[in-house]
Structure 1
């Protein structure tokens, strides 16, 4: 009898996991499209500056180095507007509808890029639509993932999404070795249409959103579906927890403190924006913005649009087109490593280790650049004749450094902040806080990519690597002091930690709260907010 019960429990666990895995897989089709968009500047800029392969030799449009720097970076700043808008769109219409609507600008952007033949302006217009779509996608994707996943699966599914995004980058790079960049855009125009159809027919709305709209019966069905169509009794406790969290998110702080049912009017937009000033939102917002700052300014992200030229400048022993493709494979491996390791190491340890590895990689390539590159001011965007080294094996040093640099950036500096992004904000301000923090990321990436060529022109190629080394050291010190450990903590535990008035920004240990602790922390949060 006991053996039968164990087998039954195993079947239920598999059904719960598979249902969530299936839903996340459908959602991740958008991340695949996002990966393709992320790779486009890397394959379009070389084609328009005559650095590309034989498939783009017939390209008749050309751009200057100034236009190249804008093309490599302006997509990011447009992502900013999309992200800011997504926070306000996602909350009223829901995560599912937002994911469907975002397919429209994706399709328009790819079609314009395929058809543009007369001017460079049309290329910028097509990239504009893709950028806005990518920004609009951020909040619904991450909110949906955080709200449908069980605590034990959240990190795994975040890593899975990063793998899909990295795979999208890899596919775009690989297609570029077989065809022109325009044909790549033609093929990719089908992806958002397929995604919209799949989301419409296969995904349920999240239980938390349905509860926020008082659609309790639909929320029960959605939760049962997301847990493998198990009987309601199997999810009753989880549903009660979601109801309690939902009621708290819809209540004003006066009613929460007095433990009363809130009958006040729903918060206005200005009141929702005021949530950003409360410490339970402000503290995690500071943490996420700091990690998002370190992501591009530790180097590899700022270099990404110009990576093909950088491999050429370092005299890569492998063809630059192939080197960029191999680098995307390292990105995928980095994401897989994060997925496998984060349960054992936790997010904090893994991030600090990866930051340390990035510091070593940037320091090594800085040493190589100052030691072996030609002594004149060396800039990657210029046409260079290959230089000769007495020891050919030394040519592999920058190649290996760039690969491992990319690997550890993806594994820790990219993967971990996005996991925290989906779980660290309180439900009441999650949509707006996600939009604001994602927008700051796009601002930082834009600044990093837009200024990279100017920094090279001023500091030289190894000089820029030295700058990235200094920032990595600074980032390691800051992350050590502020990065919390959220692994195996529920969304409610995380929210209560940041609502606790006794904890500061450098208190990075999140306790698993007991039920009786939760009402005590609510009052502490209210007293804390009265001081703001």
Structure 2
């Protein structure tokens, strides 16, 4: 065999090994994310369950709930739809503390305790106050899981896979909504609650088999455990295969355990770890405030421009529009459409990037809302409402007209889960700096639930004041404003490391409207020393840093140990 043939053979073997290694890395991270997704599945159950209770107890029961003795007034229903969002911010703030103290994995296990209690209370409820208490506990559990699940997937994933993995997490949420809607047409709402009780138990068991994030372990000086976890997450490989990435993560962790004074002086930090007050002070820095503004804007658009606020009243709304299906069955169809939206988001984000996909989907949502608005003003009576005590049901002369709002609602639901609602959670796991990631994530999630409470609680007043067409017009205005705002400030984070993103927001010379995030290079690293708010490298790890940059030429965060082909 000639030298050329031998060289080609070796190259083919090397290329084949790299492809196998890349698949194994993806598989390991996919398995860990799948287990983490069980918590999102639980959250989907928590957020979807109120709609079947409200339908059963406010005069819209299906055949399985005809013998239910409990009932709700419209005002009580509005509180039931929103009260869970009061306890969720409390859980989110607590989650920021337990996530950093106990670790991402243990925190994800702890949150299942209130969920089990809540589901059993829901199944055995003999009065309305017990249902309210169960909803509060579900909200607390959903809030507690926010910080650990968001930080976990962001810290275990390589930049190549992170966008897909974070998009994949929304898949678990929509599956939970599908289960609730499907079981609702098969059994009474109490039995649905009993079935849901077993999911957090199974989730806790499954979490025992995935590793903690290497970054958290390194922050606690558990290098051996971090190395073992990294070997697991990169495809169950030997230590030698992750040596370079482990050094990079050590550099990343070491830098952000340093105090601000030592970072500015570019020296090894010997000071004690920051206190809680000092961590909270970091929240006021621009490198946190700039991404915080973007994420909160995304949450505002998600809550006030979509069908989110009316999701708990979806059965009566579908009936008010005289759609050509049974409302319960149509609600189940919407849950499957939501899941289709998540799958589409998962498939498209790698090819289109986050920014282009979001702006496109938001434009489609605007057209859908505009059609519903026009339909409402032209077809429905003036002041028409979905609440039966305010407006009697309005029969359509042409029943085929009911397809127009139904198709638009289906399209709106698809858009919500194909980027509108998902993008805020996608960005929240990427854009915050490591020093404040746990706290900022918990705080942002808590504020998002405050917005969700406002949206859910005020829907009754909004619709009774503006009517159904007026609500659609309100949505159109918010969407138009959001489209302009996001065009100005939404950055593209796809295929950027967490370090690339952090260095971008740390640069005080850049405004919020500077959307382009460059990939980190050596010249940027050198110039970081001249910027008081931009992190630099401690002297003790400069050698590692320079060696790694010569080998890879990319940012340090969670990058692969085998170059992508």
CA drift at 1:24: 0.7
Cα distance change on mapping 1:519 and 1:182 into 2, 3 Å: farther
Shift in Å at residue 256 of structure 1?
1.0
- 1:393 is aligned to 2:406: no
Equivalent in the alignment of 1:205: 212
CA contact (8 A) 1:42 1:305 kept: yes
Q: TM-score normalised to the size of structure 2?
A: 0.91
Structure 1, gaps ≥5 residues long: none
Q: Where does residue 381 of structure 1 map in the other structure?
A: 387
1:451 aligns with 2:443: no
Cα shift at 1:519: 4.2
Of 323, 327, 336, the residue aligned with 2:343 is 336
Structure with greater proportional helix content = 1
**In the alignment, which residue of structure 2 is the partner of 1:442?**
449
Aligned to 1:61: 70
Of the three residues 144, 157, 165, the one matched with 1:149 is 157
1:330 Cα deviation after fit: 1.1
- Retained in 2: the 8 A contact 1:207–1:222? yes
Q: How many residues align?
A: 525
Corresponding residue of 2:138: 130
Task: Give the corresponding residue for 1:32.
Answer: 41
Q: Alignment partner of 1:56: what SS?
A: coil
Given candidates 273, 277, 299, the residue that maps to 1:292 is 299
Corresponding position of 2:128: 120
Deviation at 1:416, TM superposition (A): 1.6
Q: CA deviation at 1:526?
A: 2.4
The structural deviation recorded for 1:228 is 1.0
Equivalent in the alignment of 1:468:
475
Q: Secondary structure at the match of 1:55?
A: coil
Distance in 1 of aligned mates of 2:534 and 2:52: 54
* Aligned partners of 1:36 and 1:168 also within 8 Å: yes
Q: Which has the larger radius of gyration?
A: 2
Q: Distance in 2 between matches of 1:518 and 1:292?
A: 33
Does the aligned pair in 1 maintain the 2:29–2:157 contact within 8 Å? yes
Q: Is the 8 Å Cα contact of residues 50 and 57 (structure 1) preserved in structure 2? A: no
Aligned residues of 1:500 and 1:525 also touching (Cα < 8 A):
no
More moved, 281-290 vs 513-522: 513-522
**TM-score normalized with structure 1 length:** 0.97
Partners in 1 of 2:198 and 2:418 — Cα distance? Answer: 29
**Backbone CA RMSD of aligned residues:** 1.3
Aligned to 2:319: 312
Gaps of 5+ in 2: 1-8, 536-565
Counterpart Cα distance in 1 of 2:392 and 2:330: 18
Could you tell me how far apart the structure 2 residues matched to 1:195 and 1:389 are?
47
TM-aligned CA distance change 1:179 to 1:347, over 3 Å: same
- Runs of 4+ in structure 1 deviating by more than 6 angstroms, as ranges, are none
Q: Quick one: distance in 1 between partners of 2:529 and 2:92?
A: 30
Aligned partner (choices 338, 347, 353) of residue 360 of structure 2 = 353
Selected match of 1:196 from 193, 196, 204: 204
Q: Distance in 2 between matches of 1:441 and 1:211?
A: 30
Partners of 2:42 and 2:199 within 8 A in 1: yes
- Counterpart residue number, 1:506: 513
Is the CA contact (8 Å cut-off) linking 1:337 and 1:411 kept in structure 2? Answer: yes
Shift of 1:527: 7.6
Aligned-residue offset at 1:282: 0.8
SS in 1 for 2:61: coil
